[in-house]
Amino acid sequence: MLRVDRAVLVQPSVYGTDNRAMLAALKTYPKKLRGVAVIPSKPQDITESYLEELHSAGVRGIRCNIVDVADLSAGLPIQTLKELANRIKPLGWHLELLMHVNEYPNLAKVFENFPVDLVFGHFGYSHAKHGTKNEGFQGLLELLKNEQAWVKMTGPYRICDGDLPYADMRPLNDAVIQANPNRLVWGSDWPHVMVKKKMPHDADLCDLLGSWVLDENLRKSILVDNPCILYDFAAVNS
């Protein structure tokens, strides 16, 4: 038993911009669930009423899949991302990015003065083989230090070659903690789609965090306090 009291549901890429399943799930426990949606990339296709509907349902951010959608040769679609950010800024939302930060050595410069907070999934999705000195990963750490970004401590099995306890990506874990522990959140990454190695067990992943983050107060920050801020849980319980 994981004893999870609250959770954040993230719209999977396979559903595209059809958020209906996630919204239906959010309605089951409105005080305990939050959501991250996927919306059309063209601002003219997004109505204010739709954004307000998502917000009322518990959505607090939007997700952009750069890994599977964007053309790497064309660089980051930064203008589109800024336009989306400006649309969600009045709601206090964040922009979650699924991207390999190691592929963008100028990451910190590109996102300098970005309109909203950024959230990077899977420790920045940079494979452990690239190390912590990689320019893109260093850019992520800079954004963390400057409180321009958050990092989701999710999917360690996705960014290393070994099985549990995923020892070769531990340095990435330590690096983000050192950069800014107040900007980190943990997630199970359930239901672990597209896993090509041994399927992880959520309880093992939870225990892994305990072995990597020994300080009890820091664990509480990552598991409780930080997500309350990022996903606006505190406002519900006040």
Residue pair 117/92 in contact by the 8 Å Cβ criterion: no
Annotated active-site residue in 18, 161, 163, 189: 189
The token duo for 44 is 């003219």
Helical (H) or strand (E) element with 179: helix 170-179
Taking each continuous run of H as one helix and of E as one strand, the counts in the chain are 11, 7
Buried b / exposed e across 201-211, counting CB within 10 Å, b at 16+?
eeeebeebbee
Q: Sort 113 into a burial class: Cβ within 10 Å, 0-12 / 13-18 / 19+.
A: exposed
* 18: annotated active-site residue: no
The sheet carrying 118-120 orders its strands as 7-10, 33-37, 59-65, 94-98, 118-120, 149-153, 184-186
Distance CA 108, CA 113 (A): 10
Distance CA 37, CA 62 (A): 5
Supply the residues annotated as catalytic.
189
